[in-house]
Amino acid sequence: MIEDLILHWEKIAIVAAPILTWLFKTRVYDKLELKQKEVSVRSDGANVVEKNLDLYQEMIDDMDKRHKEQIDRKEREIAKILNKQKKPITELKYHRLFQVVEQVGKRVEGINFITHGEVDKVKTMLMNVLIQEKLTNVSIVFTDFLDDAELRVCSGNALRAKVANSLRGLVGNYNDSARDLFVDIGISEEDAVYLIESYEEYRLDLVNGFLESLDDISTNDDYSSNYDKINAIYELVALSIYLIPKDVRIALDSVNGRFVKYEKVLFD
């Protein structure tokens, strides 16, 4: 068998050579193609990693930018709060409340009160005295109130108590002053008290609403400082003052005719 192979090796070589050459080339090409695929995969993988890194970097940069913006916003808010806390409470002496007081005083001066279809000179004069006395006391009390050195740092409950005490003192003062003025010009004390109480009774719901709002504002931590709380409280006072001309007209309907008897004594 071996001898036959030796004798015919040339013929066998002629047939086997192309086959061996094909097998060798195919194997080499397969290896080259596999290498190229491996290189391509590595290249694609590297590209994916690079793209992911770029994406992560963008996310980090965006987060850093947002975080910086949040910090800047917080710093501005804190600075604003600190500035308000440093702001003198006495600056509220220029609050619009005091402008409203002046405006309402002028409006009340122009009101003529009617009894049985005719101008009631006595009622008009008495209510003018009462309201002007009230407005004068409002200006004095709420101006002097701001000179309290404790207002900037006191607790919400302490602030509420201070405002409530000032309000009670205010009402007592102007009512007593108005009563004394009425009596001085010849009105009986009974009639003087009746007129004052008629007005105060009509305004009672408004006063109670103010006191409830005072509780809410004084203890509300959403206000960044006592300056802001007092500013809001003064806005409520301004609103209640603004409503006086309307309220006083309605309140005096209940006293029609009671003061006509004083007209000759006061105006003759």
pLDDT at 80: 56
3-state secondary structure of 243: coil
Q: Each residue of 199-216: pLDDT tens digit?
A: 999 899 988 999 999 999
Tens of pLDDT along the chain (268 residues) come to: 555 544 554 555 455 555 555 554 555 455 555 556 555 555 555 566 666 667 767 777 777 677 677 766 665 665 555 555 568 999 999 999 999 999 999 999 988 888 888 888 998 999 999 999 999 999 999 999 999 999 999 999 999 999 999 998 998 898 999 999 999 999 999 999 999 999 999 899 988 999 999 999 999 989 999 999 999 999 999 999 999 999 988 887 777 778 888 888 777 6
Query: Contact at 8 Å (CB) between 158 and 149?
Result: no
Tokens of 165: 């005490």
Query: Contact at 8 Å (CB) between 223 and 229?
Result: yes
d(CA 71, CA 77): 10
d(CA 227, CA 153): 10
Tokens of 222: 């959403």
Burial classification of residue 88, based on how many CB atoms lie within 10 Å of its CB (0-12 exposed, 13-18 middle, 19 or more buried): exposed
3-state secondary structure of 91: helix
Query: Contact at 8 Å (CB) between 178 and 130?
Result: yes
Q: Each residue of 97-120: pLDDT tens digit?
A: 999 999 999 999 988 888 888 888
DSSP per-residue codes, 115-140: ETTEE-HHHHHHHHHHHHHHHHHHHH
CA neighbours within 13 Å on the CB side: how many for 17?
6
Q: pTM of the entire structure?
A: 0.67
d(CA 49, CA 13): 52
pLDDT at 5: 44
CB atoms within 10 A of CB 29: 10
